[in-house]
Structure 1
Amino acid sequence: MRWMIYGAGAVGGVVAARLAIAGHDVAVVARGPHLEAIQKDGLTLRRPDGDTVVKVDVYRHPADTEQDVVVLAMKGQDTGAALVALEGFRGPVVCLQNGVANERAALRHFADVYGVHVILPASHLEPGVVVEHCDPVPGILDLGRYPSGSDATALRLAQGLEEAGFVSQPRADIMRWKHRKLVLNLGNAVEALCGRVDGLDAAVGPVQAEGEEVLRRAGIDVASAAEDRERRGDIMRWPQGINRAGGSSWQSLARGAGTVEADYLNGEIVLLGRLHGVPTPANETARRLVQRAVREGRTPGSLTPAEFLEAVTLSTTRP
């Protein structure tokens, strides 16, 4: 099976490198300086025990190569363009992405769509280099057919990921797990705005609490926090001295990527809140402020947690 990893950033790059090291046939689609660096020097996988340079086929456009399975690993704001670029592909499409909107969008174009519950601490801050932070297991990548169910393809995909060193199993209820991850990811925008500082948890709290309430009021089945803790267990371990500066939105600001994923994380909660009559001032404030930070070219940590919470309060008192 030939894997195409469409979007070779932090998560996609680690998965592509790991699959290639395990002997799988892998191609990646990348862009800009990252594409050029991989073309020139290969993809560097930085792990706690050292660097490995992996030679993979790399392309600017998915039509430039054939593939058996396409793994979407770009941010949610780039999914629409990727689906158009894949027009004509007839195989399975796997959403290795945060948020819960990508699978529905993909199903408009493709019959066989799979979602992945992504638990993979990784970083991408320099062209040609991706970093995995946990050892010896880099991440948990359970997957299932969208909107529900499992099949032989899901099992085959999970087996491939297992061979690459991940923990992965098919789940017929994959969207329950992805909605739990959505709640956790609601703090990404706040972390990008404030950085990892004292008081961050207090600022993230209202954002996640709104998410929990909105999903409950919308009648969406969500894996519980206890289920999530049990699934993670002690599978993933952070070696001593290994630190991750920030999550995906923090990295987008730090790289000056020009976009951030908040519309498909916090924005999902805002949308559901409006559909079901639930106020979401914390999530709308987080979405609005981090998008402004992107437009203005700000770096992570431009606000304090107290300033973020004050902005949320102000948003609830405006006429």
Structure 2
Amino acid sequence: MASAIRNALESAVAMSHDESPVSKLAGSKPARICVAGSGAIGGTLAARLALAGHDVSVIARGATLEAIRSSGLRLVDTTAVNATPVRADVRAAERAEFGVQDIVFVSVKAHGLQDMLPQLAPLIGERTSVVPTINGLPWWYFQGEGGRFDGEAVHAVDPDGALLRALPWRRVVGCVVYIAAHVTEPGLVVTTNANRLILGEPDHQLSPRVTALCWYLERAGIKAEATARIRDAIWIKLMANLATNPLSVVTGGTLSQLHSDEGTRAIIRTIMQETLSVGRAYGVQPVVDIEQLLAQGLKLGAFKTSMLQDFEKGQPLELAGIGDAVVELAARADIPIPATRQLLALARFRSRHEPSPVQSNV
């Protein structure tokens, strides 16, 4: 199946990302945009872009699909003066029935990418820009980066290279997402922060299509930043995700609780230090101060991490991209990260075992 998808997309590889129609469309007419995935992040993006006047379609399933078809996609922005649901009219289907798109946002969990692949091919033409909004190290991480592992796969997230074969990396725009949102009921998304995305080409270029994507997002009420060093941005968020998401599963704590407790705060600091050491071994130069990140964590409030939300719903956890990929890169560079390995082991154990009932000997 992956080979068939690859054949459908093969011609895209030869196209320069500077030739994308996205850059030519900016400022002229609405873009054709599909959001594959209708959870908190996908729902936020789809609603805001539709409200900005774009031709937006959504791939959804089950109750969410039914809700969008009957009542539209609804968005509540708690940072707005009038925090009431706003309806965004989007097309919705379980499969990709929308034709070739200018932009495809892939907003499924990282472990759901391979299941989504068969649906992406009909959406992607020779000049379509694909923007995965996933957490952790992406499958395309070593593509176009020019280092000693250039062209290789990240086996923790793409063990057999299927993602690399199915989605040519030159069609991909790297993306780091800072959107705090949750789904309160099918078709209703609540955002609780100022939405922000960082976008960049895998090959370090500041391309016209990235500039155009930022233009679209800004006019949809989403702060967007273009960068020539997208991997720096990936590692900065990864430091926070790896230090807090698995820990939240183990403890059940919110972000404010984890950052305010002296014991868990020390664990977070250690994981951040280990993660940063791995990133630097691969040439990452993030402008980041760990103490500053810790201070920012105190301001996040009683917010549950996405991994804790998934755990409470009985859904798979994003441990591969957020954790296992870092362990893989650490092993390649012979960097010990004992605290990180132990935390991931605890989170994985917690995800597999429900607490046993307490039995009294009295």
Q: Same-fold call, TM > 0.5? A: yes
- TM class, shorter-chain normalised? 0.7 to 0.9
- The structure 2 residue matched to 1:141, chosen from 197, 207, 212, is 197
Query: Which of 295, 300, 304 in structure 2 is aligned with 1:246?
Result: 304
Structure-2 change in CA distance of 1:229 and 1:133 (3 Å): same
Question: Which whole-Å CA distance do the structure 2 matches of 1:286 and 1:39 have between them?
Answer: 42
* 2:136–2:323 Cα contact (<8 Å) kept: no
What residue number does 1:96 align with? 133
1:165 has 2:221 as partner: yes
> Structure 2: which amino acid aligns with 1:208?
M
Secondary structure of the equivalent of 2:46? helix
CA distance in structure 1 between the aligned counterparts of 2:99 and 2:198, rounded to whole angstroms: 27
Of 175, 185, 190 in structure 2, the residue corresponding to residue 116 of structure 1 is 175
Tell me the SS of whatever aligns to 2:74. Answer: strand
Tell me: CA distance 1:209–1:131, structure 2 relative to 1, closer, same or farther (3 Å): same
Structure 2 contact 235–276 (Cα < 8 Å) conserved: no
Change (3 A) 1:297 1:155: farther
Count, aligned residues: 284
Helix, strand or coil for the counterpart of 2:183? strand
Equivalent-residue separation in structure 1 for 2:326 and 2:264 (angstroms): 20
What is the aligned partner in structure 2 of residue 19 from structure 1? 49
- Confirm or deny that 1:221 pairs with 2:279: no
Taking the aligned partners of 1:81 and 1:222, their CA distance within structure 2 comes to 34
Letter in 1 for 2:60: A
Question: Is the 2:140–2:164 contact (alpha carbons within 8 Å) kept by the matching residues of 1?
Answer: yes
Deviation at 1:253, TM superposition (A): 1.5
For residues 141 and 120 of structure 1, what CA distance do their matches in structure 2 show? 8
Secondary structure in structure 2 of the residue aligned to 1:266:
helix
* Matches of 2:184 and 2:351, distance apart in 1: 16
1:50 aligns with 2:84: yes
- The gaps in structure 1 that reach 5 residues or longer are 299-319
- Change in 2 beyond 3 A, CA 1:139/1:285: same
1:38-77 matched pairs, under 5 angstroms? 38-48=68-78, 49-63=83-97, 65-77=99-111
Q: Map of 1:155-304 to 2, 5 A cutoff? A: 155-186=211-242, 187-194=244-251, 195-196=253-254, 197=257, 198=261, 199-216=263-280, 218-226=281-289, 245-256=303-314, 258-296=315-353
Aligned partners of 1:141 and 1:169 also within 8 Å: yes
CA RMSD of aligned residues (A): 2.7
Identity score, percent:
29
CA change 1:96–1:291 in 2 (3 A) is: same
For 1:192 and 1:289, the matched residues in 2 are separated by: 9
- Residue 303 of structure 1: aligned partner: none
Structure 2 counterpart SS, 1:23: coil
2-structure distance, mates of 1:180, 1:172: 15
Larger Rg: 2
Per the normalisation by structure 2, the TM-score is: 0.71
More displaced, 246-255 or 289-298?
A: 289-298
Name 2:206's counterpart in structure 1: 150
Cα-to-partner distance string for 1:278-318 (whole Å, 9 max, x where unaligned): 222322233333333333467xxxxxxxxxxxxxxxxxxxx
Residue matched to 2:144: none
- How big is the shift at 1:193? 2.3
Q: Is the 8 A contact 2:249 2:350 kept in 1?
A: no
Give the distance between the partners of 1:281 and 1:93, measured in 2 at CA.
Answer: 36
1:9-49, CA deviations, whole angstroms, 9 ceiling, x for partnerless residues?
A: 11121111111111111111123333333233222212212
Deviation at 1:228, TM superposition (A): 12
After TM superposition, give the deviation of residue 153 of structure 1 in Å: 1.2
Alignment deviations for residues 155-180 of structure 1 (CA, whole Å, 9 cap, x no partner): 11111100111111321211211121
Report the CA distance shift for 1:123/1:201 in structure 2 as closer, same or farther (over 3 A): farther
Partner secondary structure for residue 226 of structure 2: coil
Shift of the alpha carbon at 1:207? 1.9
Unaligned runs of 5+ in 2: 1-30, 142-157, 356-362
- Cα deviation, 1:52-82, whole Å, max 9, x if unaligned, reads 1222111212355442211111111112232
TM-score w.r.t. the length of structure 1 is 0.80
